[in-house]
Copies of this chain bind each other. A is one copy, B any other.
Amino acid sequence: MISRSVATGPSIWIDGSPAEALPLPDRGLDFGDGLFETMLVHQGSPLLLDYHWQRLTVGLQTLGFPDTFDHARACLEAACHSLASHPWVALRLTVTRGGAPRGYAPPADAEPRVVITAAPLSQDRRELAAPARIDWAELRWSSQPALAGLKHLNRLEQVMAAREAQRQGLDEVLVMDQSGNPCSVSAGNIFLASEGRLHTPALELCGVAGTRRRFVLEQVAPALGIPAEEGVVTREQILGADELFYCNSLRGLQSVAALGSTEWQSFPLCEALHQQYWKSLKC
């Protein structure tokens, strides 16, 4: 039984056992050859777990990993068991293709590793955060249809976008694709509201198919009778939107007060969606 405390920093498990270090070599470090999920765990239960597993499964198949699903699930259950006393925990589950000799080609007998890190969160996640101030990023996401949508370990572009936000003292930056169409913020998907409808960029060339994006599209907006669709979203649509918000697993929905010099004063739709979001999560 795993009983390591999470009181003083992130707890870490590798393949189900408490750990402090990753055995080397590991293709996750060498090449980013792996995937991850960032989960919000409430009293030991990961929220929207099915969505996380489904995205991870697609990723494992796309990268040609051996079947790792049962192992990952057992590792997560063991970790969550020891986290039940915490109201809110940020949990990251990483699957790497494990150790291998030198070279990009993966070994036929790869043995993936499951690394879980967990850190308690002090704030009640059900509170809607103050509206964010963001701006356009200089960086654009690269186009890679073979990997678009997956939450793989190659996240240097996100790091660079987050650095832009950091340098400018912003909460986030809005990143465009190579065509100049808005795609997402550095750590979340975007939605705009216009004439009572929600629009979010399609993710065929870049971006991560966020679990909360899917949740809004499939459950939250429909529960309120709000049409929601994905497709091409232009800069002009964003600038003319009635409301703009982004979302990720730890933050939920985050309204936007300013995108550069464009400002929004009220957020009735985002607030209604936020209420419904937690209602639909039954949390």
Contact = CB atoms under 8 A, between A and B. Distances in A.
A94 B144 contact: no
Interface of A is mostly: mixed
Interface in A4-48: 10, 12, 19-33, 36, 38
Contacts of A104: 155, 158-159, 161-162, 186-187
A24 B117 contact: yes
Interface stretch (A145-153, A209-217, A229-237, A273-281): A145-153
A109 B161 CA distance: 18
A90 interface: yes
Interface string A87-107: 000101010100001111110
A266 interface: no
Interface string A113-128: 0010101000000000
Interface of A: 10, 12, 19-33, 36, 38, 63-64, 90, 92, 94, 96, 101-106, 115, 117, 119, 139, 142-144, 146-147, 152-163, 165-166, 178, 186-187
